Amino acid sequence: MAIVLLPGTLAAEAGGEKRFELHAATVGEALRQLPVANLLLDEAGQLRRLVNVFVDGIDVRGGRLLDEPLGEESEVRIVGAIAGG
């Protein structure tokens, strides 16, 4: 079972839950199961620009992104990007 960890701001939107244990074959499948999926994915189902996802410590934006496979013990960490000017 993969574990998805949310930062505090997203956890507040997910009823206070920071940790989710999910059965999912890919990152995209896991994210779509979360109660905050609409905050992570846009209308086309793509990862929003200011959302970063790490699987077992590796940034998936450099890989297969939502198609990144998950193992039974994968840890998926959601991190909001910081933007400014």
- Please say whether the beta carbons of 69 and 25 come within 8 A: yes
**Tokens 């505090």 map to which residue?**
8
Residue 77 has pLDDT above 90, yes or no: yes
pLDDT at 62: 80
DSSP string computed for 9-61: HHHHHTTT--EEEE--SBHHHHHHHSTTHHHHB-TTSPBPTTEEEEETTEEGG
Domains along the chain with CATH numbers: 2-80 (3.10.20.30)
Does this model's pTM top 0.85?
Answer: yes
pLDDT at 78: 97
Dihedral of CA 47/52/56/61: which sign? positive
Residue type, 82: I
